[in-house]
Amino acid sequence: MKFELIIFGLTAFFIINTYYDGKYVQLMKSWKKYYQMIMIGFVGLSAYIFMRKYPGHTRSLFTHANSIIKYMPIDKDAGDLLSPLFNMTKAGSYYGGDQNQMTSQQMRVLHSGGNSGQDDNSGNNKTKRCVSETKKKYVAAEQGWKCGACKNQLPAWFEVDHKIRLDNGGSNHVDNLVALCRDCHGKKTAFENL
C-alpha cells in the first residue's frame, strides 16, 4: 500500500509541477548546495561512526575510499585536498589498528597451496596442479597486473606459472606463483621442456 502511495504522490507532484511550468523543480534545483552540504555531512558522520564502531576495519575503509577517489573525475584543488588521504593509505599510518591486519579470506589465500603430502598410488608425495581464480587474481594484483617476464600489462586471459615446478618440489603457495601473459608462459614452458 505504501508503494502505491509513493507512486501516487510522485505523479501528483509532477502533474502540479507541469501545471505551474516547472516552478517546483526549479525551486528544488535552487537548493542544490544544501543537498550537497547534507550529503557531505552524512558521509563524514557515517565514516566517523564506522571508525568508532569498527576500529579494526578503518584501514580497509580508507583503502577502499582511496581506490574509489583515485578514479573519480575531480579538479586539481580537490585532489590536493585529498592527497593526505592517499599518503595515509600508502604509508600505512592510519587511525586505529595494526598494519599487518588481514581479513580471513586474504589469510586463507596466502596460506593455502602448501604441500599437503597427498600420496598417490605409487607412494610419491604430489601436489595437484590446481590454483583458484582468487589466488590467480591475488598474484596478478601483487605484481601490479604486469607480466612477470615482459612487464607488459596482463591481458584478461593471463596464466599463472609455478616458479619452482611441482615435479621439482614446488607448491601452489602464492610465493611460488607468478602471473604471465600467454606468450611468456608458452616460451617458459617450451624452454623447460627442452
Most confident by average pLDDT, 50-59, 79-88, 119-128: 50-59
pTM of the predicted protein model: 0.40
How far apart, in Å, are the Cα atoms of 47 and each of 52, 71, 101, 163, 189?
9, 20, 20, 42, 49
Tell me the mean pLDDT in the region 30-54: 90
pLDDT at 111 over 70: no
As given in the structure block, the three cell numbers for residue 192 are 623447460
Q: What is the number of H-type helices and E-type strands within the chain?
A: 8, 4
Which pLDDT value is given to residue 14? 92
Which residue ranges form the domains of the chain, and what is each CATH number?
Answer: 2-91 (no CATH), 130-193 (3.40.1800.10)
Which pLDDT value is given to residue 169? 80
Top-confidence residue, 172 or 18 = 18
Which pLDDT value is given to residue 19? 92
> Residue 13: which pLDDT band, with cuts at 50, 70 and 90?
very high
Top-confidence residue, 19 or 165 = 19
Tell me the mean pLDDT in the region 20-28: 89
DSSP assignment of 37-100 equals HHHHHHHHHHHHHHHHH-GGGHHHHHHHHHHHHHTS---HHHHHHHHHHHHHHHHT--SSS-TT
Residue at 3: amino acid letter:
F
Which pLDDT value is given to residue 38? 94
Euclidean distance between CA atoms 30 and 53, whole angstroms: 36
Tell me the mean pLDDT in the region 120-130: 55
**Lowest-pLDDT range of 28-42, 74-88, 89-103, 157-171:** 89-103
Euclidean distance between CA atoms 152 and 58, whole angstroms: 33
* Closest CA relative to residue 160, chosen from 169, 192, 143: 143
Residue 65 · residue 85 · CB < 8 Å: yes
